[in-house]
Amino acid sequence: MSDINSGLMDRIQTISGNAFSTLVLDGAGPIAVEFMSYGCGYCRAIEPMLQEVAETLQSREQIFRINIEAEPELAASFEVQGTPTFIMFLNGREVGRVEGIHPTLSNVMAVVTAPFEARD
């Protein structure tokens, strides 16, 4: 599997469907999951911003990555139609979703934090 970061330190763990239940559905607190594919140009475009967001939020929020090509059943179970799709979970429940985003740092930050800020 190729590294989407092209050599950057990866702050986002790519997880399998097996780990999804444990880390996300049984996880506590705010968790953002990026459903992506390595062939997706938009996924590659937002990756540097997503890494920066992960660095900024590391103590407040977890971010995971699901490769839909390796986990098509998981993507289908969440009705993921395209990449990137971000689904935000709070204590195992979906609280927000964004499909496709404009690749800017402020947009990526807003996508992964807004559903949780509304609940504070």
Q: DSSP for 37-80?
A: -TT-HHHHHHHHHHHHHHHHHTTT-EEEEEETTT-HHHHHHTT-
CA distance 91 to 106: 25
- How is the beta sheet containing 30-36 ordered, strand by strand? 13-14, 62-67, 30-36, 85-90, 93-99
Catalytic residue among 31, 32, 36, 43: 43
40 catalytic, yes or no? yes
Set 40, 53, 75, 111: catalytic member: 40
So which residues are the catalytic ones? 40, 43
